[in-house]
Every structure is written in structure tokens, then in C-alpha cells.
Structure 1
Amino acid sequence: MIRFATIGSGKIVEQFLTEAKKHPEFQLAAVYSRTPERAAEFASQWGATLTFTDLQALADCPEVDAVYIASPNLCHAEQAITLMKAGKHILCEKPMATTYIDCDGMVLQAHNSRVILLEGMRPLFTPGFRRLHELIPEIGTLRRITAGYCRYSSRYDSYLAGGRPNAFDPRLNNAAVADLGVYCIAPTIALAGEPERVASFCSKLGEFEAQGAAIAQYPGFLAEWRWSKIADSPLPSVIEGEKGAIVIGKWDTMSPLTLCLRGQEPKEIPPEDDTSALYAELDAFITMIKRRGGNEAYLSISLATCRVLDEIAKQNKITFRQTCWNMVVHRDE
């Protein structure tokens, strides 16, 4: 049994806990929140016995083995490093970090503390992604990946009414490319590796990057990414090869998949199973903890994604605050 704490109390944490409660080796031991009232309320709702409002106290708690972090993006690196220093394993919501320096610091701390660090990049854990990986050889030489995640934010109306919701606060590293664009970038890197070059453009609301697009150059093919917090898009994503294409209805869930080979009728490809991505993500994380490894490829994807984020931020003058590099400590060998 792995004893978990959670940081955050938003919708994604509730979705995570709904799936986590189904796992035979998951136990919710503690809840961290900024206020005692919210911590107590959330703990009561989900059956946790311990509550914390002090991060170091959570780090020092011997009754917690691992922490699921779903706080604002800006907080991820500092919270994760503090907890990893104390020997806690970390499952961190995407984006694990918004700068390469922060991501590299987190990975280094995980190595130094000999704990498991994993980014909760849900598309990579979907049954559809596994099936997609198997289908790509059928379409021949890869020529183009077009991936989009455009979703009108539930907080945008509040912003338009004069509010300043966290989802549109540039001080929290919550730019659209960090919140949604990474859903396009990371799976592309998982499928095809890191691009040689990236050219990108964005639209801003004041200092806040609200939507954008990028073209990434690979040897012999291109990747095109589009993301938005201020508009929905019904367009599917497509992977094109010389013998055909794979149409992905929703890139974030990697479903439904349709195989379109030249000269043949389109064929809908069912997933191998109906396991939720959140459950699969948690199951993989727990397996890594028990095996004391197995997360290396995922960390490489996280690092490469942050290198691309750095380039997109540089090209579009998006400011992502770095928080953690001087926090990293080395374990004495």
C-alpha cells in the first residue's frame, strides 16, 4: 500500500481521487491546502486522516510515502523539490515545470534523493496512445503530425467580466501553451522525438498568452501544434504518412482513432481497453515506486517538452518564472 497526500483541491484532484480510490494499492493519508478550513473540508470529503497547511510539515510526515501535486504551475517545482528532499515520491500534474531549468532541477533532485518523479501527462497513459503507437508503421514514412487542443476556458467569462482568475494570471505560469499546448507537444515528442527547430506565434490578452500555434521541423516531416484557452475547435488531429493517415478525434484522450489507408475505406480502431488515463497513470507510478525505476523515458519527454516551451516562450516574449534551481541538494555518496 502506498500512502498518498494531495496538494490542490480543484476539479482535477477530485477526478484523480475518484480513479485512485479504485486502485488496490492506493491509500489517501493526507491533504495539503493553504487554509485549515479547506484542508479539513477536503479531507473529510475524501477520507484522509491528516491535514497540512505547512509544506515542510507534510514533507517531514512519516505517514506519507508519495504526493500528488495539482497546484498552480508556478508552485510545482518548489513543492516537488521540498518534498523529494524528504524522500517523498512525486506524481506531478502537467506541466511538471514551465522552464527547462526548473524541470532539470526537479529531475536532478529526484535522482539525488532516489525517489520516483513522474509527470501526469495523461495522453501518454491512454489506451488510445498505445494503439496509436502500434498503428503508425501502417501509414508508411511519416510526413506530418497535426495536433490541436483548443478549449474555451470555464474561467474566460470571469476574465471578460473584469475578474482575474488564476487560469488567466500570467504570474502563475498559466499561459495557454503551458496549460494546453503541452498536450500537443509532449505526445509528439513521445512518438517522434525532439524537433530540430520550432517556429511559433501567439495571441495575448495583455501580458497573458491565450492561444498559439507552432510548426516544428523534424528530419523529413513536420509537426503542427495549435492550442487555445479562448476558443473551442471541432477539428481533429491527424498523423500523415506516405501510405495513409490516422485521424484522432480528440488529441487529449487519443480517441476515437480512424485509420485511413490509401485506396481503402476508413476503419475505426477500437482501444485495447477502457482503462481511464488517470488510473493508468497512477498504476504506472505505483509500479515505478515498487520497482524503484522505470520513469526514465517519461522524464526525458518532460525535459524535451520544457526545452520546446523555453523556445516558444522566447519567441513570443512569454515570461515563465523560474523557482527552484538553487533549492537542489546533492546526496552524499
Structure 2
Amino acid sequence: MIRWGIVGPGRIAHSFAKDLKLVEGGKLTGVASRSLERAQEFAKEYGAEHSFGSYEEMFESDEVDVLYIATPHTSHCELSIAAMEKGKHVLCEKPMGINLAEVEQMVDAAKKNKVFLMEALWSRFNPSILKVKEMVEKGDLGKIAYLNADFGFYALDRDAKHRLLNPDLAGGSLLDIGIYPIFLAYLILGKPETIMATSKFHSTGVEAQTAMIFDYPYAQAVLSSGLRSKISMKAEIAGSKGSAYLHERWHETQGYSVELNGELEEIDFPTKGIGYSHEIEEVHHCLNSGKLESTNWSLDNSLDLANLLNEVRKITGISFPGE
């Protein structure tokens, strides 16, 4: 039985804990927060035996094997490295770090301490996205020429100290949600030859909307993320023989459509639970096989993704205090 600990019992941690109950071979045994009371409340709700009033206490504990880092992304690097130095395996919520240098440090720490590390990019294990990727690789859609993926919602009405609007918390749309369209382009088409991008900024200084074109030898990917409006969140992958469409909201999609020979077929392909279960199953598979990284979302993949985010930031002028 793989014993999980959750670091940071926020909103996303609740979704993770619910899905963990659906996966065989693992259980939640520990919860850590800077507030012991908050950790105890979360632990009681999900049946965890141990509560910790500091992250360091759980890193030292013998009651957990692998930790899910669910804190804001400005603390991902520091907390993941501290956990790995105590011999804990780590599943770190995306983005793994706020820049390439942080991700490199985390990868180095995992290799040095001989522990498992994976970025919790749950969309990589979504059944519909896996199926569409398989169709692309088999050539069912022909030669891919175009990919479109967007992610946006309205968030400018939130408090200026909210993590999305706060530059000190590396706020903005790109790292929080822009990572998903970039991920899909990378998953389907690989690394682009060139990137074009432009951003709009909010009064707090964070980037609030970004449009990107990833250019490949044959294909183009048109991508966007934003906090200034709600946008349609479908994704399209189009080739010489046909197209595949990931249903809204595509990053957590419950199905897809395929258009071939003028006919459109819609396929329902629901996730198990909310969808975090699939990345949990991947972690279990890796740990039970003695693997220190996933072959489906490797450390090199996370480094590539961090590098692409860095490139977009350089082009658009997105920066954070203290970098």
C-alpha cells in the first residue's frame, strides 16, 4: 500500500484526495499545512491518520511514502527539494517551477537523492487526450498541419492579492493555465522551430492574456490563455485526412469527436472521478516498478515544457519579483 501525504490542503488538494479514494493500492495517510487546525480538518474529512502543522514535520515522518505538493507554484521548488532530501517521492502540481532554473534544480535533487519525481500534469493521462495522441501517431488524421487550444476565464474581479493577480505569487494566466495549450502543442507536435507571442498586462503588473503561435516545419499551433474573458475551451487537431476535437473543457475532457470523410463521430470517454486518478495510477505504476520517473511524462518532458514557458516569457516580457 502506497502511503500518500498532501502538502497544502487547498482547493486542488480536495479534488486530488477524492480521486485517490478511487485508485487501488494507495491511501492518504498524512496532511501538512502551516495551520495544524486546517491540516486536522482536511485529514478528518478524508480519513488520513496523521496531521502536521508544518511541512517539515511531514518530510521527516515515516508515515508517508510519496507527497503531492499542492501549494502555490512559487513554493513548488523549495518544498519539493526539501521533501526529496528527506527521501520522499514527489508528485508536484504544475507548473513544477516558476522558471526553467527551478525545474532544473528539482530534477537534479531527484537524481541526487534517487527518488521519484513527476510533474502533476493531469491532462497527460486523460483518456481522450491519450486516444487522440494515438490517432495522430497512427496517421489516422493524416499529416498534422494545424492545432488550436485555448484556456481562459474571467478573473480580474478577484482581490489584487489573489494568487492569479499577485506578481509576488507569480500570478497571471501563462503559468497557471497557459501551460495547458503549450503542453498540448508539445505533446502532439513536439518542440517548435520558432515562437511568436504577445501579452496584455493587468494593473497589478501580472500578465492577463497571452496569444501564441508555435511554428513547425509543416504545422502551426495557435494557442492562447487569459484571465480577461471566458472563452470557448475546445481544442482542435487537424490533418490532411481529418480532424479531432477535444470536447470542452478540453484539458479535463470527458470525450472527443473525429471528423473523417465528411462524417463526424462523437465519442464519450469519461475520466475516473474528476480525472486526477489517472496521474495517481501512473505514480503507483512507476513506484511499484521501481521507476524514478515516468516514461509518459518524463523529467525531460517537464524540462522542455519549462523551457517553452521561459521562451514565451522572454518574448512577451513576463517577469516575477525576485527572479
Q: Same fold (TM over 0.5)?
A: yes
Residue 87 (1) aligns with residue 87 (2): yes
- Which has the higher mean CA deviation after the structures are superposed, 70-79 or 106-115? 106-115
SS across alignment from 2:71 = coil
Q: 1:322 to 1:99 in 2, by over 3 A?
A: farther
Residue 188 (1) aligns with residue 185 (2): yes
The 8 Å contact of residues 200 and 213 in structure 1, kept in 2 or not, is answered as yes
In 2, Cα distance between equivalents of 1:275 and 1:84: 29
- CA deviations 1:6-28 (Å, max 9, x no partner) are 11222211111011012222221
Give the structure 2 partner of residue 43 of structure 1: 43
The 8 Å contact of residues 5 and 64 in structure 1, kept in 2 or not, is answered as yes
Unaligned runs of at least 5 residues, structure 2: none
Unaligned runs of at least 5 residues, structure 1: 324-333
Which of 242, 245, 261 is matched with 2:243 structurally? 245
Q: 1:108 to 1:322 in 2, by over 3 A?
A: farther
The 8 Å contact of residues 189 and 301 in structure 1, kept in 2 or not, is answered as no
Structure 1 residue 49 displacement after superposition: 2.3
Q: 1:222 to 1:74 in 2, by over 3 A?
A: same
In 2, Cα distance between equivalents of 1:255 and 1:239: 17
Give the structure 2 partner of residue 174 of structure 1: 171
Which of 146, 149, 159 is matched with 2:148 structurally? 146
- CA deviations 1:19-48 (Å, max 9, x no partner) are 101222222121111112212222222222
The one-letter amino acid of 1:141's match is K
Residue 227 (1) aligns with residue 225 (2): yes
SS across alignment from 2:157 = helix
* TM-score normalised by L of structure 1: 0.89
The one-letter amino acid of 2:228's match is I
The one-letter amino acid of 2:88's match is K
The one-letter amino acid of 2:283's match is F
Give the structure 1 partner of residue 315 of structure 2: 315
What RMSD over aligned residues (CA atoms) do the two structures have, in Å?
A: 1.8
- CA deviations 1:86-132 (Å, max 9, x no partner) are 11011111111121111111111111111111111111111101110
Q: How does 1:285-296 map to 2 (within 5 A)?
A: 285-293=283-291, 294-296=293-295
Aligned residues: 316
In 2, Cα distance between equivalents of 1:297 and 1:127: 13
In 2, Cα distance between equivalents of 1:264 and 1:289: 45
The 8 Å contact of residues 74 and 321 in structure 1, kept in 2 or not, is answered as no
Structure 1 residue 255 displacement after superposition: 4.4
The one-letter amino acid of 2:245's match is V
SS across alignment from 1:129 = helix
- Which has the higher mean CA deviation after the structures are superposed, 225-234 or 287-296? 287-296
In 2, Cα distance between equivalents of 1:235 and 1:56: 39
Where relative contact order (Cα < 8 A, 6+ residues apart) is larger, the structure is 1
Structure 1 residue 177 displacement after superposition: 0.5
The 8 Å contact of residues 4 and 27 in structure 2, kept in 1 or not, is answered as yes
* TM-score normalised by L of structure 2: 0.92
